[in-house]
Amino acid sequence: MPAFALEPEQRDWCAELRALGAERLRPLAESGQHGRLNRELLVALGELGLIGRLFAPDGRPASALDLCLLRESLAYSCTEAETALALQGLGAGPLALAGTASQRERWLGEITAGRAVAAFALSEPGAGSDAAALALRAEPDPDVDGAGQGWRLTGTKTWISNAPHADVYAVFARTREGAGSRGVTAFLVPADRAGLTGEGLDMLSPHPIGTLTFDGVPVTRADLLGEVDAGFGVAMRTLNLFRPSVGAFATGMAQAALDAAIAHAGARPAFGGTLRDLQSVSHQLAETATRIEAARLLVYAAAAAYDRGDPDIARRAAMAKLLATETAQQAVDTAVQIHGAAALQRGHLLEHLYREVRAPRIYEGASEVQRSIIAKELYR
């Protein structure tokens, strides 16, 4: 069976998710505050078992295709719920991929229930797209644990989703100078650790994003996610899992925008008929629908390849994220243009999507970075 062909059960599940997003989750999302953590929404996602779908019973990441179906379906009807779920998964991804049994036992149950909030702390003021340029230092300090195996984290992380309100952070720090990506180590750092502070940033997107300051934050070997100097691999494996699903998020928004444009074009009187009768409008809708379907198929294929363990995951994930996020930007812009001024009113679906759709072309690797990854893989 082709990788992109969904089973009837999967299609039914997607329909159920869209209904859940509209009927149960959207009211909770609308009751939240812009830029603030919506813990009530997270608990609802946990109670519905949706966060738990991101992880297998042993605590490791589950199906990438399930993650894509979740994100696309929720994005269609409630982008805030989609983002809350995705950020929990991204924050807990390094824990699921590289955490110890005791770390997973301590945190994963609380995270999947929505009671504990996780965050992925990779980006820095001088290291966004170039993740190997991390400067947050992990300096050896034998007094941290009394056995000569501790470190103190010093530096800054920024553009961190769920910061500064998360309960636990997957933090990537430099343990070996001059080693590039080979000198980065991942740590699991609870938010109440001494020396860790943060502040929120006022951003376009409605979910919380902030800066974290590490002032000699103590960590030990018990806080390691994987091996010393092997943290960059943990970060990249996490991103390879989530990049196709960023494309799924974008595809869900694009489909919502297209459906709104189709409905509007069929009902809006214009020049003796409706907007849909104008070839300039109908051809835009046809082009947008084709691009969205192509992006969706590429996202599903990349997720299925991840689940199979294919060797070309980096290329497939980059292609899926690139095409889907760029397509979503075009789809939402087209829908706004077809609607006209009404779509620019605060509270309109397309006004909301117009603000939401811009960020995915930047986070988890900007479109330019995805093109570089694809080109590198072509010459590998």
Find all residues with CB under 8 Å of 125, minimum gap 6, and list them: 156, 158
Active-site residue, 364 included: yes
Which entry of 287, 364, 368, 377 is annotated as an active-site residue? 364
Structure tokens at 376: 């590198």
Do 89 and 51 touch, CB atoms closer than 8 A? yes
Distance from first CA to last CA of the chain, Å, rounded? 29
CA 31 to chain centre: 22
Give phi and psi for 293, each to the nearest 5.
-65, -40
* DSSP output for 19-81: HHIIIIIHHHHHTS-TTS--HHHHHHHHHTTTGGGGB-TTSSB--HHHHHHHHHHHHHH-HHH
Nearest-angstrom CA–CA distance, 65 and 336 = 30
Could you give the residue ranges of the DSSP H alpha helices within the chain?
A: 8-20, 26-30, 39-47, 64-77, 79-98, 101-112, 231-267, 279-308, 313-339, 349-356, 367-378
Residues 6+ apart with CB under 8 A from 280: none
- Can you say whether residue 121 is alpha, beta or left, with left for phi > 0 and alpha for psi between -120 and 50 degrees? beta
Burial class of residue 3 (count of CB atoms within 10 Å of its CB; 0-12, 13-18, 19+): middle
The CA distances from residue 294 to 69, 83, 114, 165, in Å, are 16, 23, 34, 37
Taking the CA atoms of 247, 16, 119 and 38 in sequence, report the sign of the dihedral they define: positive
Report the largest interatomic distance among the alpha carbons of the chain, rounded to a whole angstrom: 82
Check residue 137 and report its DSSP letter.
Answer: E
Q: Which residues are catalytic?
A: 364
